[in-house]
Homo-oligomer: A and B are copies of this chain.
């Protein structure tokens, strides 16, 4: 499609899935780029809560937002536009999306999210083509899980990695200082299907004294007897054992440790243990190895730690948003922006493109060469991969009350033009 044939109309930005520290920077990158071309983008809209905002025709106009709040999106936790976990499936839903787009002359759709969101964006793109509705759809990668295919890494991952690695480094010093008897500490981190985040904790270990001493990831099922041996061995060598464990860690039967009953998953009253992998492992170690344990589960804190974001991550997220708009201005549609690493010394990262349909069906697990031979800690290769992504600190705006100041968009909805949507 030649540049001259670009449709003139509104652009919609939307965010989907689990929030990250960097997804607002992506929207800002796109917004500021789009603002430079008012003859193409005659209105810049946000969808409240991702695709749900489109389905429900809950759209707001960025022109009505305070300019300062928009600028502050660069460093703002979570998804300022609102997010959702709604999976678009029915034809009626897709028809509704197009109905809303047409009603508001929306010609550009920029969707920041993971696999499912790219699938949605892809289908919207196809449907528009089928129905001869001229519009351009671009995906912006987002996920702390770092599990999108066709991109070297995902915006959001570098920050959650920096956060968790720093936290486990600091808490490991607690375990080191306090306990004169052997003890274990488990930090439960996110990652249902992929071990990228747990692996990133490994960066905190510069020498044997440092935690974490063991890393558990979903890609390597845990043999609990071996695990107990490894904890014992670590206690003997270091006097303590700090473990970083993915929430999605499974046993050799493929069952999540977090949902385990059975022999190891019972407390002294024979009750099944609930409460996540940290609780399971903590109880398991106390019972099987016979040492005290502590359990840390940062939960949603880890993916919103803007105060300790990776500058590299924020900058790259911004660039992904910016490039999505630039590519649309070149007439590109049906693609997601990717990050393409050009070198490590010095680190250099450009952007590329991947077809939405391909991203939607792909998944990037942690390659086994990123772990050591025993599968118990990271390899040097992973260190080389991950270190550049967590570099650089940000300076969040601070209030007079000693706490960060994060913007909140007004999100005043524009008047509706369509009928009510029925789920």
- Chain B residues positioned under 8 Å from A204 (CB to CB): 403
Question: Distance (Å) between the CB of A302 and the closest chain B CB?
Answer: 9
- CB of A85 within 8 A of CB of B178, answer yes
Contacts of A79 in B (CB 8 A): 177-178
Shortest C-beta distance, A223 to chain B (Å), equals 24
Q: Which residues on the B side are within 8 Å of A177 (C-beta)?
A: 15, 19, 49, 78-83
Q: Is A305 an interface residue (CB 8 A)?
A: yes
A166 at interface by CB-CB < 8 Å: yes
Cα distance A81–B173 in the bound complex, in angstroms? 11
What separation, in Å, do the CA atoms of A388 and B401 have in the docked complex?
Answer: 7
Count chain A residues whose beta carbon lies closer than 8 angstroms to a beta carbon of B: 76
Copies, count? 2
Knowing A296-B300, A297-B296 are in contact, say whether A403-B178 is a contact too (CB < 8 A): no
CB of A203, distance to nearest CB on chain B (Å) = 6
Q: Is A275 on the interface with B (CB-CB < 8 A)? A: yes
Q: Is the CB of A403 within 8 A of B180?
A: no
Contact between A295 and B304, CB atoms less than 8 A apart: no
Contact in complex: B178, A83 (CB < 8 Å): yes
* One of A61-69, A126-134, A266-274, A326-334 contacting the partner: A266-274
Given contacts A79-B177, A180-B84, A398-B393, whether A272 and B269 have CB atoms under 8 Å apart is: yes
User: A418: shortest Cβ distance to chain B, in Å?
Assistant: 19
The proximity string for A residues 77-93 relative to B, scoring 1 for CB distances below 8 Å and 0 otherwise, is 11111111110000000
